[in-house]
Chain A
Amino acid sequence: MGHNDLELLTEIVIPELGKTLYMVALSTLLSTILGFGLAILLVITDENGLSPNRLFYQALDTIINIVRSFPFIILIVALIPFTRLIVGTSIGFNAAIVPLVIAGSSFITRIIESSLKEVDNGLIEAAKSFGASNFQIIFKIMITEAIPSIVSGITFAIILLLGATAMAGAVGAGGLGMVAITYGYQVFNDTVMYGTVIVLIIIVQIIQTTGNLLYRKLS
């Protein structure tokens, strides 16, 4: 092939690994913050919620469904003008954060929403009878009860976002997924292709194990 494969692995994989981790970490953080906000809004305005508002719920619900329907690569391209507005450019790993957060938060919103809905209604009724405010019910009761399930769901979402960063390479964001495809698969370099996959397997293992540990600690 003309290259020392081991050299390739260290010269390319390490910097791209850094970009991947940065993209996953930042997009997860922002998606979770946004996701929490949106999920709480959904749960409150749901017909069985603390402050039902059918119109609002339907609108938000529909928007989230629409975002989730987009194949990620198309979402990236469709969001280019918006990305440019926020980040100032449509290329690079910072620009990739925009579609990652849009897709990630739509997914995480659903996760948190369903976790919150699982909370025992009895607890909520009891809290209401003690005169707890909506704010207290949401933050002291619902979220606290739902935390283990939310942690577990976010672990899942992180791994999905990791997969999504592979496509962020299309906008010049780099990342391990792009390396596996354009330095491995497409040039028939199995060492790079599988080498990168092994690194990704290790990362996913770490994420999943950490998630499981946190779940147990918090339950």
Chain B
Amino acid sequence: MKKIIIIFMSLLLLITLAGCSSQENSKENGSQTQAKKETIVIGTTSYFIDVVEYAKKEFEKTSDYELKIKVFDDIVQPNVALAEGSIDCNFYQHLPYLKAYNQNRDGNLVAYSDNGISCTFGVYSEKITSLDQLKKGDKVGIASDPSARTRCLKTLEHHGLIELREGIEFPSKRDITKNYKGLDIVEMNRSNTIVASLMDLDVGVTYGIHMLLADKDPASAIVWDSKESLRKFADILVVREEDKQAQWAKKLEEALISDSTAEFMREQFPGVYVRTN
């Protein structure tokens, strides 16, 4: 019995040590390559991975840097990581969210510029073809995370289905002051569940990219969010204040909004991304 415990604990120890040493190795490699090329680490979320991977190639050609991509599955951590210095920039959020982060967390993160990439956003349905067909009690799926939820509610407001309380930065279900059709608004996960559960909803309000990733047609939206919304909620490159003038930031942004990246987005992800510059 004692033997088994000793063997088990030794195995755990070995695995832990192996994990530690591989991390140290990569740090060493990092500092070795630093002699020839510096590494910039960019944080992003799942629906921009392909675009950032593509821009990486261009960035590495036009600059003296290597780009390392770190993927987060959380909408707060990429800013926290940026503020603490474990990444150099991030590309996943829109300006309103950045402002809220800075306000509430005393942050000094800045958008590199006004240029960015916006994701198309619409009201999708497998049951109806026009908003007029919505009836009392119909289920409307909206994102639960405040960043996307805001855009969902603003879209519904834009099309005259609801009215929202004024002055709320990130409104939620609670901030609906008028619900003209008596709709049942359900807050849920924006990507896999709104799209996967579209047949259980009457409409779902979400990003075209999530529809595309689920093999559904992003262009099939009944209605879209407003042009102002598309601009306002464009995702931008964010860096720490002190890097606002950095050369690598300039090159990186250029790569992200370049014509060839735009072409790539048009071809591989039709109807999903819109450059805003």
Contacts and interface: CB of A to CB of B under 8 A. Distances in A.
A187 B186 contact: no
Given A2-B168, A91-B188, A169-B144, A188 B105 contact: yes
A12 B144 CA distance: 14
Contacts, number: 79
Interface centre among B101, B170, B200 (most CB of A within 10 A): B200
Contact of B193 (A84, A172, A183): A172
B141 A91 contact: yes
B139 interface: yes
A212 to B, nearest CB: 28
A91 B146 contact: no
Interface in B72-118: 75-76, 100-101, 103-105
A92 B170 contact: no
Nearest to B100: A188
A196 B149 CA distance: 20
Interface string A73-116: 00011001000100001111001000000000000000000000
A12 B75 CA distance: 22
A178 interface: yes
B197 A90 contact: yes
B187 A172 contact: yes
B201 A91 contact: yes
A186 B193 contact: no
A91 B2 CA distance: 49
Interface string B152-192: 00000000000000011110101000000000001111001
Interface residues of A, number: 27
Given A12-B174, A92-B186, A172-B188, A77 B146 contact: no
B145 interface: yes
Contacts of B169: 2
A60 interface: no
A171 B168 CA distance: 25
Contacts of B197: 80, 89-91, 171-172
B128 interface: no
A170 interface: yes
A201 B200 CA distance: 34
Interface of B: 75-76, 100-101, 103-105, 139, 141, 144-147, 149, 167-170, 172, 174, 186-189, 192-193, 196-197, 199-201
12 contacts: A84-B199, A89-B197, A90-B193, A92-B186, A170-B189, A172-B186, A172-B188, A172-B193, A174-B187, A181-B144, A182-B172, A186-B76
Given A77-B196, A171-B188, A187-B146, 10 more contacts: A8-B174, A90-B196, A91-B200, A169-B188, A169-B189, A170-B193, A172-B197, A186-B145, A188-B100, A188-B101
